[in-house]
Structure formats: C-alpha cells, structure tokens
Amino acid sequence: MPNKAATCQEIKEKVCEDRISALPDALLVQILLLLPIKEAVATSILSKPWRCIWTLMPKLVCKDTKHTNSKSVWWFLEQSLHLHKARILEHLEVKLGSRCPGDVDVGKLILNAVERYVRLLDFNLKWPAKPVSLPKTLYTCKTLKKLILSNKILIELPFEAFLPSLTKLELINVVYKDEGSLIRLLSSCPVLKTLIVVREKNDNVIKFTVKVPSLNSLVYVNDNDDDGVCGCGYGRGSLIIDSPQLKYLCVNDFSEDGCSIESMSPNLTMARVDVGSPPNENFLTYLSSVKFLHMTWIDETEVFCSCVNYSQLIECILRPCRAEYWVESVKLLLDNSPNLKVLMIDTKDIGESADVPRWSDVPACLSSQLEILEWKKYGGTRDEKQLLEYILASSKCLKRAGISMRYSKDCNDKMKKKLRKELKAMPRASVSSELLFPAKIKWRSSVAQHCLFDL
C-alpha cells in the first residue's frame, strides 16, 4: 500500500506546478528574471512548457564567480546563448574573469547583442590576455542607450562611429588605440548626458578631451599611483573639458598635468573637486556658480578656497589633505560663501599647521546663514580646536553641530570624556543649537547622496 500522506503531498505539488505552468509566458519570464541566469536556464528541465521560457528573457546577467573550482561563465554562454530567442535583448551584462580562456572570440557576444537591438550593454573583461578590440558594429548600434566597458578592452575607432541613442557611457580602466579613437567615440554620441571615466595607468592618452555639447554630468578619475596619502596618486595625462551644458562635475585627478576647462555651463550646480594641480582660470570661474561642493585640497590647490566667489554655495564638504595652512584656507572659503547653510569638514588626514592668527571679523554665512555643522574625525589638535571655537562662537543661526572624534591609540576613557567636556564648554552664539557626538558621521548632504559622487 502506498503511503497515503506522501501521495496527497505529490498531488498538491503537481497541482501547484500545473497552476504555475498555466501562467502566461510573459509572467513566467518575469519570474525567471528574479533568478540567477544558470538557475533560470535549469528550469527548462521542469516540464515541456518550461523548456523555452528562459530563452525569452530580455535581460541576461552572466558573471564569473570567485569560486576557484568553477569554470568561467564563458563556457555557459557559448553553449547556451545560441538557444536564446528573445527578438529584443534589453539588457546584457557580462563579466569574464581570469578563468576565461584568452583565445576565445568574446566579440561574438557583442555581435549577438547588437543584432538583437540591445539597449544596455555592460561588458567587463578581466582575463589574463591582452586588451581586445570590439566589433565595429557596436559603435554604430542605433538602439544602445547605456554602454559600460571595463578593463581589458581596447577602444579602437579608425572609422567614424555613430551612437544616436546613447545617453550614458562608462569607460572603466580601458585602453585606447590613440587619442583620435577617444575623440571619435565621444563625438559619435549626439545625445550623451552622462560620462563616467576611470583611467588606466598606461591608456595611450595624454590629453583626455571631453568635447560633448549635450553632456550634463561628468565623473573623471585619474588616480592610479596611490602614494598612501589621502588616496592621492600622481599619474599622467590631463583633462580638457569642452561641454557647455555641464551641470554636475566630479574630478578626482592628482596627476601632474591637472585639469583645464575650455567651455562649460555657467550654471554648474554640483561639483566634487579632488585635484593636486592648480586649475586654469576658467575652472575657477565656472565653479563660482555651484550650489553644492565637495572639495579635497592640498597647499598647491588652496586657490580653490581663496580665489573663487561662491556666491550661490549652500552645502559644502571640505577635506584638507597635506595642507599646512588649511585653517586659513577654510576661513577664506567661508569669507567667499555668503549663503552657506551646511558645512562639513573631514580632518582625518590632517596634521598641525603653522601658527594661525586670531580672527576678529565674522563671515556673512556664519552671522546669518549657517544652520548645520558636521565634523568628521575631529582630533582636538590646536588648529581644529581654534577653528571649531571660531565657528561655534560666530554662527548665530546654527541648529545642529555633529562631531565624530578621532582618538589616538593611547587615549583612554578618561581622556575621551575630558575632550568631550571641552567641546561642550565651547561658547555658542546660537544657544538653541544641539551639540551631538555620533560614533560615525555619514554625510547627508545633496553632494554626498548624488549617485555620481559615490567614489
């Protein structure tokens, strides 16, 4: 006699399976999109109705894992992709790692995607072989809206390209055949809005020229010889910006050649500037319109603090680094920012500076505007103490001051309590303001929250 309970359970499972199988194919595809690609393909053995469902998926994400004993996802793609039948491939994301054979034709993946009107292509190649050129048809794809190319990829365009629908382009540690290939690629994107560039150390480009009339947002990182101080490397190659519609700018460039601007929007709204070389005059002029600013500077670039009238600046994050006169630079920036309401300071990588004079004047922003002060990694040095005392004693509209501490290794609980007591005893012009001591401060500003500035 068969087990009655087991038989009932089998019947229930069969009924449940039949109900799912009876759903429309479009709904079953949406269910499979929630699964890793290999698991989605594995559903083809469930029953006959499931055999072809995965082949209709408009989104494929295939990535090599970190498991040392597993094969490269390349073998899966080579065996399975030819079975895929979706007429339109909305999204293809492929990451091939060190286990991918160096002699395979990865270009046929790109051809397959282009032939099926791909909208988003994310191709990350980290194999041990040399950088590879991609098929020419990629650079004339009319449907492509977002393109991400990373690592062992050679941008080679000896021909004219045309990407009429591309609005977002990311070039992460790729290599260029020459500067002409870069220029032809960018000029082929008439509606490009967002460009994100992380430069490889030896990418064959000296002058990285961004001449894109439609560009709205630019992120540029050229920091590939890290010397361990503030994350500041000293690579080579300069950045030249000629984008009159630019509103969001993020530059992390500690190369010796620096950054210059030929043409940019007078309505630049948000900027993150981490640079190690003095900028050209145009750069300073266009920064004067920003409302949100995140800045790392060293002594050589304190000109950002002293020579720009930030008349529209509302929120500012300051991170002095290897700057002997950083306190004076902060004071100069406050003098030049009459409408500043939120000030955030990070002194993690700062040391003692030369003697700083006592100030008798009060910047307009402190007397009538500043509402929030957040200080990350405050260590109680003479310079930090003097600047904090000055800001608290002068800020009449201050509502909240949050200070996270930077303690030395030999600092015990008694010393920590003493330091906090000193801070609480500092005179405050705004008697209603809160003084908080969070363990950590996470920037809540518009600059910090903007996706382009998450570096």
Alpha helices per DSSP H over 336-412: 364-368, 382-394
Burial letters 101-120, b for 16+ CB under 10 A, else e: eeebebeebbebbbebebbb
- Would you give the DSSP letter of residue 278? P
- Tokens in use for 252? 């992390």
pLDDT value at position 11?
Answer: 46
Taking residues 193-200, report their average pLDDT.
Answer: 95
pLDDT top residue among 312 and 109: 312
pTM of the model: 0.84
Joined together, the tokens standing for residue 301 give: 């670039």
Give the integer Cα–Cα distance in Å for 247 and 4. Answer: 70
Average pLDDT of span 86-92: 85
Q: How confident is the model at residue 201 (pLDDT cuts 50, 70, 90)?
A: confident
pLDDT of residue 14 exceeding 60, the answer is no
Q: Tell me: the pLDDT tens digits for 96-107?
A: 888 888 778 888
* 327 — pLDDT class (breaks 50, 70, 90): confident
> Of all residues in the chain, what percent carry a pLDDT higher than 90?
43
Measure the CA–CA gap between 190 and 212, rounded to whole angstroms: 8
Task: For 354-388, write each residue's pLDDT tens digit.
Answer: 667 788 899 999 999 999 999 999 988 888 999 99
Whole-number Å distance between alpha carbons of 167 and 93: 17
The answer on pLDDT for 75 being more than 80 is no
For 402, the 3-state DSSP assignment is strand
**Contacts of residue 75, Cβ cutoff 8 Å, sequence gap at least 6:** none
* Rg (alpha carbons) of the chain, rounded to whole number: 28
Residue 229: what pLDDT?
Answer: 47
Q: Which of 96-100, 264-268, 330-334, 425-429 has the lowest mean pLDDT?
A: 264-268
Confidence grade of residue 451 (pLDDT, cut at 50, 70, 90): very low
CA-to-CA distance for 112 and 107, rounded, in angstroms?
9
Distance between CA atoms of 55 and 44, rounded to whole angstroms?
A: 9
Mean pLDDT of all residues in the chain? 83
**343 exposed, middle or buried (CB, 10 Å; 0-12, 13-18, 19+)?**
buried
CA distances to 17, 179, 242 from 163, rounded to whole Å, are 45, 19, 20
Q: Where are the alpha helices (DSSP H) in 237-363?
A: 281-287, 303-306, 326-335
Q: Are 239 and 253 in contact (CB under 8 A)?
A: yes
Task: Tell me the average pLDDT across 113-121.
Answer: 93
The Cβ of residue 280 has, within 10 Å, a number of other Cβ atoms equal to 14
- Backbone φ, ψ for residue 289 (5° rounding): -95, -5
| Two tokens, residue 111 | 């051809």
Distance CA 75, CA 54 (A): 18
CA distance 323 to 353: 8
**Over 50: is that where the pLDDT of 227 sits?**
no
Q: What is the C-alpha to C-alpha distance for residues 251 and 275, in angstroms, rounded to an integer?
A: 7
Task: Give the pLDDT score at 279.
Answer: 74
222: number of Cβ within 10 Å: 28
Regarding predicted confidence, which is higher, 264 or 291? 291
Distance between CA 391 and CA 402 in Å, rounded?
Answer: 13
Instruction: Please state, for a pLDDT cut of 70, what percent of the chain lies above it.
Output: 78
- In angstroms, how far is CA 321 from the centroid of its own chain? 21
